[in-house]
A and B are shown apart, each in its own frame.
Chain A
């Protein structure tokens, strides 16, 4: 648990330092998928999604040395979101034939306020945390329990059908679901609080 609560904060510290390559890699791994998936769902070409992720990373290095990390303000999360939305919007404008640089900059703030993008971001951000937590749980629970959770809790199949398919008892399916759901809630809460 120690590492869980410190990684994010120390990661930010190392990113702010600017010279720690492994911090880049770790940040990229943590948030790259989130940024890229968001970009994808905003209609950006896959090859360019990576550009978006890297633009966000770059913006962060510039900002972090002056970045007051204050979990109470939720500032990291807000900053990440604003930066990502802006990066995607910029690319979208650039890809439009006839787009001029000035227009692009003008439109950026509009884009940040774009409610569609807001909703997409919120969904992707939640999915990111759940995905991250579920991956951690893969080493805590047995594969059969995780499969039961997937079928019964996530895919919404019948408990009996799930039990039959996995050669478990219905009770075991219920147990797996409630145990994993409990840990998932704990982990996601911890992650979200940690992220600030």
Chain B
């Protein structure tokens, strides 16, 4: 070895490095239901085994794909769809596909008919049959490919190796359409080389449009081209043009006109199909082959079926369709080609190598034609009925630079969402910020960007956020002195900084507000960095509302407690999570006892609201050092969820969430929730939120769409046990997105942060429909994602579950674009309590639409009702009240709204004065009379969006397109 040889030339050092590398040889795939694995062949895409399918006792072929090429959810879904399509094929010369799935190691596999045979490439040679039987065989291959073309499937990777010849001499075409899924998959370096090799393995049979890397131009005629190359080989024993290096080959495919097969004779091993060639081949076969190999797809056979027919005509000595190109065309072509060559030659010295690489690169990575991009509802659910779904709304900041860590923290309560961006630089590097979004009845809009009044360099304001009603808290990180938590209150128009909470502790712990929680008038902060031996777990602050709860101006906050727990001494640092409900306060210490971790539960003392008593310490039943139990924590009523994101039960650092329930006597561990669909590190429980019967766990380490793409798992307690229900991803899934670095859930919406580490523009994703409104055992969100339920107003609740059901489907306003944007979710519960159904029928247009007015009828299930208030808005954000009368029974006077029919039906005339200006009408209050004679006041029951003439026009235009 030359001077370049180093440690790797010494076997002992190489072995040492191999030992340290953690590499292990691949093991046999673990697929339930199959046994007796035998490796058949191995390539860049994967490995093909033969195995026995236990249910049928038959031997089948199982192809297990490498992980890299199909990393993302979209790619997998595309792959699944392709397989499903091909599995429907029934053709004697197409290898049957039986099944597909994921191995226990998470690799996609598919099961197919086991053909005992050799590739066509093994038959181009001494043992090949004569020319006629060779052409008959080739015609069968073309028929098979034509069968697929008729069904809209293109093979894309036809070559002799993909045509198996069985013992009876019959051909079987293999790997239909799979090249597409794999060729277009995102790249990965380890797969890159092998797949490049694989691509090289297919390149000689590629059409010019494939070599150009223009996937939208690839169609059935590309397969015709590849078949032409195969036929050329069968006739001559060689390729139509020289096959060498990557760049050279691509150039030749693009530009070199193949010589007529009859002009070159047999160049393969002696005794091939050509056998006694030139004489036998003749002009007609030349024409057929060259028609296949035309550079322009338009000059080839339209599909493989036409090619098959022409071969059959030739064999039957009938006139063929292929004709030699006219002289004029050949001349034009030559001139054009000449021009091309000049350009290429000029450019060659500089960019040729790069261009060739680029072509391969874009070929592999190019997107699929849009026709195949359509969603496949069938694959939303897995076998266990768990679904995958993407977000309802993506929140991104209006001004964010790429590395602000927007989404590192999130909080949500009702119509207000808060997203922290701790590395925002508005007030100096990593000074941080928090964004407030509000739902205006139609959209989530960014309302405000919060900064600390005394913000500055490295404060990381926004490291943590929490909200309850009109008060929100923003924490910061430990990097600087003067640690504080900032309290903002909503004054009716905007959020204003009201207090800066600091401790009077003479030796305050660092990272004082790195975890914050608020509930009602209590705020708790859990410091992240303690001193060794320190006993302090958390600081508690209480609000004094000055005797006027409605008025926030005179509020003040005071530190009321520093919590310690028996047996707790800080190992050196750090506490991570804190959770707060009305009565409970839970602090988690994941580093406690050699990172085994623990959670400490405190309960508010009855009658002494500012006093918290230590209740218990939670540890998992299977506690192990290093699990980081308590990294994230959340609580609701009598449930506490504590995560251990490095737990190794399902995979190394797969993560887990422990659920504890108070059974009336004590806290008991009810379940350990684990991720499914795991490809290794997942970090389930990096963040966690619980509400009602749902646990939402962030898993930013999940690698489904590339390393650290992240995901969120949703679990539901079905009354008996906890079930995994859904895996949430995002429409913009990709590596390092870190989806799930933070989560919040208020029962209505789950808000999920994806801060993209430090490399991308972060985002927060809002999900609705984490509920089962029709008790179907499927989440609303899943039903919508699967296309099983419509959600026209895009609020995450199936239309059939809307309190105002289906008014749009009945086109009640006469305009197809008018939207009812829905009512707040929980009114049914408040009102009905199981006895009175909240059952508004649709608004129904009973007159109009006229130029100036429309009359709408509003019906309820109640004996009688009145509107308390109606508000209108031009832009959907600022609503003006129409000053309705509150006197029960009185029709609402004037101002554009007029009640006309008493009782359970009432018509309203939304008149000229209002409608031209107001495109949003919000029914703010309804007073309903029940059969028992009681009154209910409902606030904010619905919103109608009247599309503007402009919107109507554009919708119609789109529909036409």
Contacts and interface: CB of A to CB of B under 8 A. Distances in A.
Interface of A: 2-4, 6-7, 10-11, 21-22, 24-26, 28-30, 32, 46-47, 50-51, 54-55, 57-58, 94-95, 97, 101, 123-124, 126-132, 134-136, 138-144, 146-147, 149-150, 153-156, 181, 184-185, 188-189, 192-193
Interface in B31-62: 39, 42-44, 47
A161 B773 CA distance: 62
B187 A22 contact: yes
Contacts of A11: 189
Contacts of A24: 735-736, 759
Interface in B179-216: 186-190, 192-194, 196-197
B44 A139 contact: yes
Contacts of B645: 47
B618 to A, nearest CB: 22
A126 B7 contact: yes
5 contacts: A32-B707, A97-B572, A129-B8, A185-B14, A192-B4
A134 B28 contact: no
Interface stretch (B19-27, B106-114, B137-145, B442-450): B19-27
Given A2-B246, A25-B186, A156-B15, 11 more contacts: A25-B707, A25-B735, A50-B757, A51-B758, A54-B757, A101-B458, A126-B8, A128-B21, A134-B21, A153-B15, A192-B6
A104 to B, nearest CB: 10
A132 B190 contact: yes
A193 B2 CA distance: 12
Interface residues of B, number: 69
B194 A136 contact: yes
Contact of A134 (B18, B194, B365): B18
Given A55-B758, A129-B8, A188-B8, A143 B192 contact: no
Contact of B758 (A30, A58, A101, A139): A58
A76 B122 CA distance: 46
Contacts of A29: 188-190, 707
Given A28-B735, A123-B20, A134-B21, A58 B759 contact: yes
B510 A97 contact: yes
B21 A130 contact: yes
A17 B810 CA distance: 54
Contacts of B39: 142-144
Contacts of A4: 193
A126 B12 CA distance: 13
A45 B683 CA distance: 13
Contacts of A184: 8, 14, 18
A147 B8 contact: no
A88 to B, nearest CB: 16
Interface of B: 1, 4-9, 11, 13-28, 39, 42-44, 47, 66, 186-190, 192-194, 196-197, 245-246, 353-354, 357, 365, 403, 458, 479, 510, 529-531, 572-573, 645-646, 653, 683, 686, 706-708, 734-736, 757-759
A54 B718 CA distance: 40
Contact of A127 (B17, B403, B683): B17
B707 A28 contact: yes
B706 A25 contact: yes
B17 to A, nearest CB: 4
B18 A54 contact: no
A-B pairs, 5 with minimum CB distance: A131-B21, A146-B25, A126-B17, A3-B196, A127-B21
A130 B336 CA distance: 50
A131 B19 CA distance: 9
B379 to A, nearest CB: 24
Nearest to B709: A25
A130 B18 contact: yes
A25 B186 CA distance: 10
Q: Which of A130, A155, A181 has the most CB of B within 10 A?
A: A130
A38 to B, nearest CB: 12
B42 A189 contact: no
Contacts of B403: 58
A98 to B, nearest CB: 8
Given A46-B653, A189-B9, A3 B42 contact: no
A96 to B, nearest CB: 9
Contacts of A138: 25-26
A153 B23 CA distance: 13
B194 A139 contact: yes
A51 B458 contact: no
Contacts of A146: 25-26
Given A138-B26, A185-B8, A22 B365 contact: yes
Given A136-B190, A192-B8, A57 B759 contact: yes
B186 A97 contact: no
Contact of A97 (B21, B190, B529): B529
A50 B572 CA distance: 23
Contacts of A147: 25
Nearest to B245: A2
Given A94-B479, A101-B479, A130-B23, A123 B193 contact: no
A143 B193 contact: no
Contacts of B23: 130-131, 134-135, 150, 154
A181 B596 CA distance: 42
A186 to B, nearest CB: 9
Contacts of B573: 95, 97
Given A28-B735, A57-B759, A138-B26, A7 B7 contact: no
Contacts of B707: 25, 28-29, 32
Contact of A181 (B11, B357, B736): B11
Nearest to A139: B194
A29 to B, nearest CB: 5
A188 B353 CA distance: 24
A142 B759 CA distance: 39
Contact of B20 (A126, A149, A150): A126
A158 to B, nearest CB: 15
A10 B353 CA distance: 11
Contacts of B646: 46
Contacts of A185: 8-9, 14
Contacts of A134: 18, 21, 23
Contacts of B9: 185, 189
Given A139-B42, A150-B25, A26 B187 contact: yes
Contacts of A51: 757-758
Given A3-B193, A54-B736, A143 B26 contact: yes
A26 B191 CA distance: 10
Contacts of A6: 353, 357
Contacts of A144: 39
Contacts of A155: 19
Contact of A154 (B8, B18, B189, B686): B18
B529 to A, nearest CB: 5
A189 to B, nearest CB: 6
Contacts of B18: 127, 130, 134, 153-154, 184
A26 B706 CA distance: 10
Given A50-B708, A58-B403, A193-B4, A181 B188 contact: no
Contacts of A189: 1, 4-6, 8-9
A136 B193 contact: yes
A154 B26 contact: no
Given A26-B192, A127-B22, A135-B23, A97 B14 contact: no
Q: Which of B19, B20, B23, B66 has the most CB of A within 10 A?
A: B23
B186 A22 contact: yes
Contacts of B1: 189
